[in-house]
Amino acid sequence: VLVTPSVRFEKGQVLFKVDDRAIRAQLAEANASIREARAAIKEAQTAQETAKQQLDLSRGLDAPAAVSRSEVIQAEGAFNAAASRLEVSNARLLAAQARASSAQTDLARLTVRAPIAGEILAVNIRPGEYVSPQGNSSQPFIQMGQTTPLHVRIDVDENEAPRVEIGSMAIVSPRGAAEQQVKARFVRAEPLIVPKRQLTNSAAERVDVRVLQLIYALPDADQFRVGQQVDAFIPAAQDAASQESADK
Protein backbone atom coordinates (compact mmCIF):
# COMPACT_ATOMS: atom_id res chain seq x y z
CA VAL A 1 0.00 0.00 0.00
CA LEU A 2 1.66 3.19 -1.24
CA VAL A 3 -0.66 5.91 0.06
CA THR A 4 -1.99 7.16 3.41
CA PRO A 5 -5.03 9.26 4.32
CA SER A 6 -4.88 13.04 3.68
CA VAL A 7 -2.20 12.60 1.00
CA ARG A 8 -2.73 14.48 -2.26
CA PHE A 9 -2.24 12.38 -5.38
CA GLU A 10 -2.13 12.81 -9.14
CA LYS A 11 -4.04 10.93 -11.82
CA GLY A 12 -2.24 7.68 -12.66
CA GLN A 13 -0.30 7.50 -9.39
CA VAL A 14 0.05 3.97 -7.97
CA LEU A 15 -2.21 3.43 -4.95
CA PHE A 16 -1.49 -0.21 -4.09
CA LYS A 17 -0.14 -3.38 -5.68
CA VAL A 18 -1.41 -6.95 -5.49
CA ASP A 19 0.90 -9.98 -5.45
CA ASP A 20 1.62 -10.72 -9.11
CA ARG A 21 3.85 -13.81 -8.95
CA ALA A 22 1.22 -16.19 -10.37
CA ILE A 23 0.42 -13.86 -13.28
CA ARG A 24 4.11 -13.33 -14.03
CA ALA A 25 4.56 -17.11 -14.18
CA GLN A 26 1.66 -17.34 -16.66
CA LEU A 27 3.22 -14.57 -18.73
CA ALA A 28 6.59 -16.33 -18.78
CA GLU A 29 4.88 -19.56 -19.85
CA ALA A 30 3.03 -17.76 -22.64
CA ASN A 31 6.24 -16.08 -23.85
CA ALA A 32 7.96 -19.48 -23.91
CA SER A 33 5.08 -20.84 -25.99
CA ILE A 34 5.49 -17.91 -28.38
CA ARG A 35 9.18 -18.70 -28.88
CA GLU A 36 8.36 -22.40 -29.36
CA ALA A 37 5.66 -21.60 -31.93
CA ARG A 38 7.98 -19.29 -33.87
CA ALA A 39 10.65 -21.98 -33.99
CA ALA A 40 8.05 -24.47 -35.21
CA ILE A 41 6.97 -22.00 -37.90
CA LYS A 42 10.54 -21.67 -39.17
CA GLU A 43 10.93 -25.45 -39.18
CA ALA A 44 7.64 -25.91 -41.05
CA GLN A 45 8.58 -23.22 -43.58
CA THR A 46 11.92 -24.90 -44.24
CA ALA A 47 10.26 -28.28 -44.62
CA GLN A 48 7.66 -26.81 -46.94
CA GLU A 49 10.29 -25.17 -49.13
CA THR A 50 12.29 -28.42 -49.31
CA ALA A 51 9.19 -30.44 -50.14
CA LYS A 52 8.17 -27.93 -52.79
CA GLN A 53 11.60 -28.11 -54.42
CA GLN A 54 11.48 -31.91 -54.36
CA LEU A 55 7.97 -31.90 -55.80
CA ASP A 56 8.91 -29.45 -58.56
CA LEU A 57 11.96 -31.54 -59.37
CA SER A 58 9.91 -34.73 -59.57
CA ARG A 59 7.30 -33.11 -61.79
CA GLY A 60 9.88 -31.44 -64.00
CA LEU A 61 11.70 -34.56 -65.08
CA ASP A 62 11.10 -35.38 -68.73
CA ALA A 63 12.03 -39.05 -68.50
CA PRO A 64 9.16 -40.99 -66.96
CA ALA A 65 11.54 -43.73 -65.90
CA ALA A 66 13.64 -41.33 -63.82
CA VAL A 67 10.98 -41.05 -61.08
CA SER A 68 8.14 -43.29 -60.17
CA ARG A 69 4.54 -42.29 -59.56
CA SER A 70 4.85 -43.29 -55.92
CA GLU A 71 7.77 -40.91 -55.43
CA VAL A 72 5.74 -38.07 -56.85
CA ILE A 73 2.87 -38.92 -54.49
CA GLN A 74 5.30 -38.99 -51.55
CA ALA A 75 6.67 -35.59 -52.55
CA GLU A 76 3.14 -34.18 -52.74
CA GLY A 77 2.32 -35.67 -49.34
CA ALA A 78 5.48 -34.19 -47.81
CA PHE A 79 4.58 -30.78 -49.22
CA ASN A 80 1.01 -30.93 -47.92
CA ALA A 81 2.17 -32.17 -44.50
CA ALA A 82 4.65 -29.29 -44.23
CA ALA A 83 1.88 -26.83 -45.16
CA SER A 84 -0.38 -28.31 -42.47
CA ARG A 85 2.39 -28.09 -39.86
CA LEU A 86 2.94 -24.46 -40.82
CA GLU A 87 -0.77 -23.70 -40.39
CA VAL A 88 -0.85 -25.44 -36.99
CA SER A 89 2.28 -23.56 -35.86
CA ASN A 90 0.73 -20.22 -36.86
CA ALA A 91 -2.41 -21.08 -34.90
CA ARG A 92 -0.30 -22.00 -31.86
CA LEU A 93 1.54 -18.70 -32.16
CA LEU A 94 -1.72 -16.75 -32.17
CA ALA A 95 -2.99 -18.68 -29.14
CA ALA A 96 0.26 -18.07 -27.24
CA GLN A 97 0.18 -14.36 -28.09
CA ALA A 98 -3.42 -14.17 -26.86
CA ARG A 99 -2.44 -15.81 -23.55
CA ALA A 100 0.48 -13.40 -23.19
CA SER A 101 -1.77 -10.40 -23.90
CA SER A 102 -4.31 -11.64 -21.33
CA ALA A 103 -1.54 -12.14 -18.74
CA GLN A 104 -0.19 -8.65 -19.40
CA THR A 105 -3.68 -7.20 -18.92
CA ASP A 106 -4.13 -9.05 -15.63
CA LEU A 107 -0.64 -7.96 -14.57
CA ALA A 108 -1.48 -4.32 -15.25
CA ARG A 109 -4.73 -4.62 -13.26
CA LEU A 110 -2.80 -5.82 -10.20
CA THR A 111 -1.20 -2.38 -10.01
CA VAL A 112 -4.08 -0.10 -9.01
CA ARG A 113 -3.68 3.51 -10.10
CA ALA A 114 -5.67 6.63 -9.29
CA PRO A 115 -8.35 7.36 -11.92
CA ILE A 116 -8.48 11.04 -10.92
CA ALA A 117 -6.40 13.63 -9.10
CA GLY A 118 -7.48 14.44 -5.56
CA GLU A 119 -7.03 13.43 -1.95
CA ILE A 120 -6.95 10.07 -0.15
CA LEU A 121 -9.86 10.03 2.30
CA ALA A 122 -9.52 6.54 3.80
CA VAL A 123 -7.34 3.46 3.36
CA ASN A 124 -9.20 0.26 4.30
CA ILE A 125 -6.54 -2.31 3.39
CA ARG A 126 -3.20 -3.25 4.91
CA PRO A 127 -0.13 -4.94 3.43
CA GLY A 128 -0.48 -8.72 3.49
CA GLU A 129 -4.28 -8.78 3.45
CA TYR A 130 -6.17 -10.91 0.94
CA VAL A 131 -8.09 -9.06 -1.76
CA SER A 132 -10.26 -10.32 -4.58
CA PRO A 133 -11.71 -8.62 -7.68
CA GLN A 134 -15.20 -8.94 -6.19
CA GLY A 135 -14.10 -7.24 -2.98
CA ASN A 136 -13.82 -8.83 0.45
CA SER A 137 -16.00 -6.33 2.33
CA SER A 138 -18.81 -3.86 1.85
CA GLN A 139 -16.42 -0.88 1.86
CA PRO A 140 -13.97 0.12 -0.88
CA PHE A 141 -10.29 -0.62 -0.47
CA ILE A 142 -9.39 3.07 -0.83
CA GLN A 143 -11.69 6.08 -0.71
CA MET A 144 -10.61 9.15 -2.63
CA GLY A 145 -12.13 12.31 -3.96
CA GLN A 146 -11.61 15.82 -5.25
CA THR A 147 -11.82 18.02 -2.16
CA THR A 148 -10.97 21.40 -3.68
CA PRO A 149 -13.49 22.85 -3.43
CA LEU A 150 -15.66 20.88 -1.05
CA HIS A 151 -19.25 20.35 -2.15
CA VAL A 152 -22.32 19.88 0.01
CA ARG A 153 -25.45 17.99 -1.05
CA ILE A 154 -28.54 19.62 0.44
CA ASP A 155 -31.79 17.63 0.67
CA VAL A 156 -35.00 19.61 0.32
CA ASP A 157 -38.29 17.83 1.04
CA GLU A 158 -40.45 17.58 -2.06
CA ASN A 159 -43.24 19.59 -0.43
CA GLU A 160 -40.78 22.46 0.09
CA ALA A 161 -39.03 22.15 -3.30
CA PRO A 162 -41.35 24.58 -5.17
CA ARG A 163 -40.48 27.31 -2.64
CA VAL A 164 -36.73 27.07 -3.19
CA GLU A 165 -35.04 29.85 -5.14
CA ILE A 166 -32.89 27.80 -7.51
CA GLY A 167 -29.51 29.42 -8.14
CA SER A 168 -29.37 31.55 -5.00
CA MET A 169 -26.56 31.43 -2.44
CA ALA A 170 -27.03 29.25 0.63
CA ILE A 171 -25.96 29.92 4.21
CA VAL A 172 -24.23 26.78 5.51
CA SER A 173 -22.97 25.99 9.01
CA PRO A 174 -21.55 22.82 10.60
CA ARG A 175 -24.02 20.70 12.56
CA GLY A 176 -24.05 22.01 16.14
CA ALA A 177 -22.14 25.22 15.34
CA ALA A 178 -24.76 27.59 13.95
CA GLU A 179 -22.55 30.63 14.58
CA GLN A 180 -19.96 29.43 12.03
CA GLN A 181 -21.81 30.46 8.90
CA VAL A 182 -20.40 30.63 5.36
CA LYS A 183 -21.94 31.45 1.99
CA ALA A 184 -22.03 28.50 -0.43
CA ARG A 185 -22.17 28.93 -4.20
CA PHE A 186 -24.94 27.15 -6.13
CA VAL A 187 -23.62 24.50 -8.56
CA ARG A 188 -26.62 22.54 -9.80
CA ALA A 189 -29.90 20.89 -8.92
CA GLU A 190 -30.08 17.13 -9.44
CA PRO A 191 -32.78 16.32 -12.03
CA LEU A 192 -34.06 13.24 -10.17
CA ILE A 193 -36.15 13.39 -7.01
CA VAL A 194 -34.94 10.54 -4.76
CA PRO A 195 -36.14 8.91 -1.53
CA LYS A 196 -34.94 10.56 1.65
CA ARG A 197 -31.91 8.82 3.20
CA GLN A 198 -30.16 11.43 5.34
CA LEU A 199 -32.02 11.79 8.63
CA THR A 200 -31.73 14.62 11.18
CA ASN A 201 -33.29 12.55 14.02
CA SER A 202 -35.72 15.35 14.71
CA ALA A 203 -39.00 14.34 16.35
CA ALA A 204 -40.96 16.27 13.70
CA GLU A 205 -39.05 14.85 10.77
CA ARG A 206 -40.93 12.93 8.12
CA VAL A 207 -39.16 9.98 6.52
CA ASP A 208 -41.84 8.97 4.01
CA VAL A 209 -41.00 11.79 1.57
CA ARG A 210 -38.76 12.25 -1.39
CA VAL A 211 -36.18 15.01 -1.66
CA LEU A 212 -34.75 17.42 -4.19
CA GLN A 213 -30.96 17.44 -3.97
CA LEU A 214 -29.08 20.70 -4.51
CA ILE A 215 -25.29 20.84 -4.90
CA TYR A 216 -23.39 23.81 -3.45
CA ALA A 217 -19.67 24.60 -3.44
CA LEU A 218 -18.22 25.62 -0.08
CA PRO A 219 -15.54 28.30 0.27
CA ASP A 220 -12.17 27.33 1.70
CA ALA A 221 -12.88 26.89 5.41
CA ASP A 222 -11.29 24.73 8.08
CA GLN A 223 -14.54 23.90 9.89
CA PHE A 224 -15.82 21.52 7.18
CA ARG A 225 -14.74 17.92 6.59
CA VAL A 226 -15.67 15.30 4.01
CA GLY A 227 -18.75 13.34 5.13
CA GLN A 228 -19.79 15.93 7.68
CA GLN A 229 -23.45 16.86 8.09
CA VAL A 230 -24.32 20.54 7.86
CA ASP A 231 -27.31 22.82 8.29
CA ALA A 232 -28.26 25.01 5.34
CA PHE A 233 -30.57 27.97 4.84
CA ILE A 234 -31.76 28.64 1.28
CA PRO A 235 -33.88 31.73 0.50
CA ALA A 236 -37.44 31.03 -0.62
CA ALA A 237 -38.50 32.17 -4.05
CA GLN A 238 -40.82 35.16 -4.05
CA ASP A 239 -44.10 34.74 -5.91
CA ALA A 240 -45.38 37.31 -8.39
CA ALA A 241 -47.73 38.99 -5.91
CA SER A 242 -45.05 39.40 -3.28
CA GLN A 243 -42.63 40.73 -5.93
CA GLU A 244 -45.20 43.27 -7.15
CA SER A 245 -45.88 44.41 -3.58
CA ALA A 246 -42.17 44.77 -2.98
CA ASP A 247 -41.78 46.86 -6.14
CA LYS A 248 -44.56 49.24 -5.04
pLDDT in tens, 25-78: 999 999 999 999 899 888 888 888 887 777 776 666 555 555 556 666 676 777
Between 82-91, 93-102, 197-206, the lowest mean confidence (pLDDT) is in 197-206
Q: For 158-163, what is the mean pLDDT? A: 85
DSSP assignment of the chain, as one string?
----TT-EE-TT-EEEE---HHHHHHHHHHHHHHHHHHHHHHHHHHHHHHHHHHHHHHHH-S-GGGS-HHHHHHHHHHHHHHHHHHHHHHHHHHHHHHHHHHHHHHHHHTEEE-SS-EEEEEE---TT----TT-SSSS-SEEEE--SS-EEEEEEETTTGGGB-TT--EEEEETT-TT--EEEEEEEE-SS-EE-------TT---S-EEEEEEEEPPS-TT--TT--EEEE-PBPP-HHHHHHHH-
The predicted structure's pLDDT at residue 241:
41
Q: For 206-232, what is the mean pLDDT? A: 85
The predicted structure's pLDDT at residue 227:
85
Whether residue 120 has pLDDT greater than 70: yes
pLDDT in tens, 177-217: 888 889 999 999 998 888 877 766 565 566 678 888 999 99
Whether residue 111 has pLDDT greater than 60: yes
When the pLDDT of each residue in the chain is averaged and rounded to a whole number, the result is: 82
